[in-house]
Amino acid sequence: GALVLALFLPVPARAAEPFRLLLLGDSLTAGHGLPRKDAFPARLSATLAARGHAVTVINGGVSGDTTAGGRARLAWLLAEKPHGVIVALGGNDGLRGLDPAVTRLNLDAILARLKAAGVRVLLAGMRAPPNLGREYGAEFDAIFPALAEAHGVALYPFFLEGVAALPHLNQADGIHPNADGVKAIVGRLLPYAAALVSTGK
């Protein structure tokens, strides 16, 4: 009798699996110079959770990484089975004055691989340092909107928007955001990240 009764009892609903969000980036996403709790992955995770999003953030940031490095380790990171990826690479390419055509080729391959894997993407744009000249800057900066359009992915125009070149929001090196800078980045990028994780798996 007890067995028969058990067959008709409601089965508790399983909690939905958190959205697995991979951050494919460099020192800006790795959290260079900051305690883990103040770094971009932790701050973004906490902010999304506070707004009701069930998200597991996977920190795929490696300090010093270029687009070539990100491309080389992408297959390994996809083993984490992310549902979505924020691609935030290119800053080191610009700092090193690498050929924008090579940067574009690497990012194009990354986006194509993510599309083939059925992963949702937010591409975070970067800008070339002004000391490399207007021509280089124009070619480099154009990479990100062009690729976002070509691959049909969302674009956050500039990862360091509102933070770059502002001393009070950066560490002593003038390149990496401090804790307040990370807060500012997360605040600006949040609507884009929330849209990414709200669109399903």
Neighbours of 20 (CB within 10 A): 18
SS3 assignment for 56-121: EEEEEECCCCCHHHHHHCHHHHHCCCCCEEEEECCHHHHHCCCCHHHHHHHHHHHHHHHHHCCCEE
Burial-class residue 98 by CB neighbours within 10 Å (0-12, 13-18, 19+): middle
What is the C-alpha to C-alpha distance for residues 45 and 194, in angstroms, rounded to an integer? 11
CA–CA distance, 59 with 95 (Å, rounded to integer)? 22
Place of tokens 């986006």: 111
Active site residues: 27, 173, 176
Here the tokens at position 157 are 């125009």
Question: And the tokens for 97?
Answer: 């004055």
C-alpha–C-alpha distance, residues 155 and 122, integer Å: 6
d(CA 91, CA 47): 24
